A and B are shown apart, each in its own frame.
Chain A
Amino acid sequence: GENVEQHPSTLSVQEGDSAVIKCTYSDSASNYFPWYKQELGKRPQLIIDIRSNVGEKKDQRIAVTLNKTAKHFSLHITETQPEDSAVYFCAARGFQKLVFGTGTRLLVSP
């Protein structure tokens, strides 16, 4: 089955800096790669996703890139703000269940 690895486990940046979180997956049949943000005490919320027919997708300050050959995908947050502080989860899915990474705790300091 699918296996998703996520790095780093924690990431501290200064406000205004960029943050990058990386994930790798094992199943070459996976074709859907969402990213979730979980704020303290709340449920995970989908923030952006990408499908295997595109290599990059942007939404304001966040972007996701996908390299199907290398089986890795990344989340990029530019101009970070304190409200970006949260735990971020990547995930991958083909025609079976969605599999999550272990999460990255992002702390943005003012």
Chain B
Amino acid sequence: GAGVSQSPSNKVTEKGKDVELRCDPISGHTALYWYRQSLGQGLEFLIYFQGNSAPDKSGLPSDRFSAERTGGSVSTLTIQRTQQEDSAVYLCASSPSPGTSGGEQYFGPGTRLTVT
């Protein structure tokens, strides 16, 4: 079946502009994560959605970052007033509900954001 998809695959924007990144999780997956990965670095957790629960926003680096998940499916990560240090690959991942027999987390291909 279809995996996790993200769009756009690449985004170049000017400093100060707002950007929106989209994630389509695997159908039926209740958990959705956003991560940021700078070149050669690890996975920086940003935000976690689980079903209808309030999202875990503890990883968002500033109030310029926000995310929503509509209808428990598609998610959008918004970065306002982009800065050069926001340049990175933004990865989305989804998984079944924690505690289910499966539980594997699958990553999308990422969006490479470049702020000039």
A: which residues have CB within 8 A of B?
Answer: 32, 34, 43-46, 49, 89, 91, 93-103
By a CB distance below 8 angstroms, the chain A residues around B98 are 32, 93-98
Instruction: Say how far A52's CB is from chain B's closest CB, in angstroms.
Output: 12
Instruction: Say how far A53's CB is from chain B's closest CB, in angstroms.
Output: 11
Is B73 located at the chain interface by the 8 A CB criterion? no
Nearest A residue to B50, CB-CB? A97
Given contacts A34-B104, A43-B91, A102-B42, whether A97 and B99 have CB atoms under 8 Å apart is: no
B: which residues have CB within 8 A of A?
Answer: 31, 33, 42-43, 45, 48, 50, 56, 91, 95, 98-99, 103-110
In the bound complex, do residue B33 and residue A98 qualify as a contact, i.e. CB atoms below 8 Å apart? yes
Nearest B residue to A99, CB-CB? B45
In the bound complex, do residue B108 and residue A46 qualify as a contact, i.e. CB atoms below 8 Å apart? no
Beyond contacts A43-B110, A97-B45, A101-B42: 16 other A-B pairs, Cβ-Cβ < 8 A, are A34-B104, A34-B105, A43-B107, A43-B109, A46-B104, A49-B104, A89-B43, A91-B105, A95-B98, A96-B98, A97-B31, A97-B56, A100-B42, A100-B45, A103-B42, A103-B43
By a CB distance below 8 angstroms, the chain B residues around A45 are 107
Instruction: Provide the bound-state CA to CA distance between A95 and B31, in Å.
Output: 11
Nearest B residue to A6, CB-CB? B42
The 5 closest A-B pairs by CB, nearest first: A43-B107, A97-B48, A103-B42, A102-B42, A100-B43
By a CB distance below 8 angstroms, the chain A residues around B99 are 95
In the bound complex, do residue B103 and residue A32 qualify as a contact, i.e. CB atoms below 8 Å apart? yes
By a CB distance below 8 angstroms, the chain A residues around B31 are 97
Instruction: Provide the bound-state CA to CA distance between A6 and B31, in Å.
Output: 24
By a CB distance below 8 angstroms, the chain A residues around B50 are 97
Task: Give 8 CB contacts A-B under 8 Å.
Answer: A34-B105, A43-B107, A43-B108, A46-B105, A46-B106, A89-B43, A96-B56, A97-B56
Instruction: Provide the bound-state CA to CA distance between A43 and B9, in Å.
Output: 12
Instruction: Say how far B33's CB is from chain A's closest CB, in angstroms.
Output: 7
